[in-house]
Amino acid sequence: MTQERNLTFSSEDFFKYPTSKQHMNQQNDIPVSDSRRYLEYIVDIFPQSTNYAIGMIDMVNSTKITAQIGPIKTARYFQVFLNSMSKILSRYGGTVFKIGGDSLLFHFTDSDPGKTGLVSCIECSLEMIRSQKYISQQLVSEGLPIIDFRVSADYGPVSLVKTKLSEGFDMIGTPVNMCAKINRLAENNQLVIGGDLFQMVKHFKVYQFKEINDFSLGFKLSYPVYLVADK
């Protein structure tokens, strides 16, 4: 397994990504196609909900770091991070559904009890953590700062959201919200999961689970959060 990971991150094309050749508006650097788009932001929410394993990976101190390296290096810094995470997700069957600045939200289908979606979500999230040193090595080789991030995940019902301006789907629901809220309970390069996901995966003996905190939901209610690591 370790050898496979080393080959994955050291492959010659892992950190090579296509460069956009869009024509830019020279006055404000907005793609011409976007600068001419004046459409209403109309949201259509599908009433049916489906259980998904939802994950979030968030860069640490990105605002401070990118303020010191300039726009060109910042673009490469984010490109390496976002595309590397996307490649890892694709290898485990995960799908990106939102990029929010320095964070990325993803989901796994087939996430019913005992099925592969939950295993894939946990293993993929841990692989993201393992990738930190390889991605940092690549960044340093390009004269960029090292990178740290936190990963969080949870499980539950979500609804699909379609907008007029997007070809894909967004998602809303409690597990999406909880991923964002519990993410900061992780330390750098750690994975934390919410209590609902823990109940679904606690029987997997290949991982270590440690309750680290309760997240306050208000009205004297709390939600358990667990640190996850390889055994």
CATH of the domain at 67: 3.30.70.1230
Q: What is the pLDDT of residues 104-135, one digit of tens each?
A: 999 997 545 555 788 899 999 999 999 999 99
Q: What is the pLDDT of residue 115?
A: 56
Q: What is the pLDDT of residues 83-93, one digit of tens each?
A: 999 999 999 98
- Of 92, 186, 77, the residue nearest 140 (C-alpha): 77
Any domain includes 48? yes
Any domain includes 189? yes
Q: Count how many Cα atoms sit within 13 Å of the Cα of residue 67 in the half-sphere of its side chain.
A: 4
Number of Cβ within a 10 Å radius of residue 54? 29
Q: What is the pLDDT of residues 48-77, one digit of tens each?
A: 778 899 999 999 999 899 999 999 999 999
Amino acid (one-letter) located at 112: D
Q: pLDDT-based confidence at 37, cuts 50/70/90? A: low
Please give the average per-residue pLDDT across 147-154, as a whole number: 96
Distance CA(223)–CA(111), nearest Å, equals 21
The total number of structural domains in the chain stands at 1
Any domain includes 2? no
SS3 call for 9: helix
SS3 call for 130: helix
**Among 35-39, 163-167, 181-185, 199-203, which is the least confidently predicted range?**
35-39
Any domain includes 17? no
Distance CA(190)–CA(60), nearest Å, equals 11
State the residue for tokens 């689970």: 209
Any domain includes 11? no
Q: What is the pLDDT of residues 176-230, one digit of tens each?
A: 999 999 999 999 999 999 999 999 999 888 899 999 877 666 555 788 999 999 8
**Structural domain range at position 158:** 43-230
Angle at 162 between CA 99 and CA 101, to 5 degrees: 15
Q: Is 47 buried (19+), middle (13-18) or exposed (0-12) by CB count in 10 A? A: exposed
Torsion of CA 21, 25, 26, 30, to 10 degrees: -90
Q: Where are the alpha helices (DSSP H) in 23-103?
A: 32-35, 62-66, 70-92
Give the torsion sign (CA, 168, 18, 71, 73): positive
Any domain includes 195? yes
Any domain includes 37? no
Distance CA(108)–CA(155), nearest Å, equals 10
Find all residues with CB under 8 Å of 40, minimum gap 6, and list them: 164
Distance CA(41)–CA(131), nearest Å, equals 36
Any domain includes 33? no
Q: pLDDT-based confidence at 172, cuts 50/70/90? A: confident
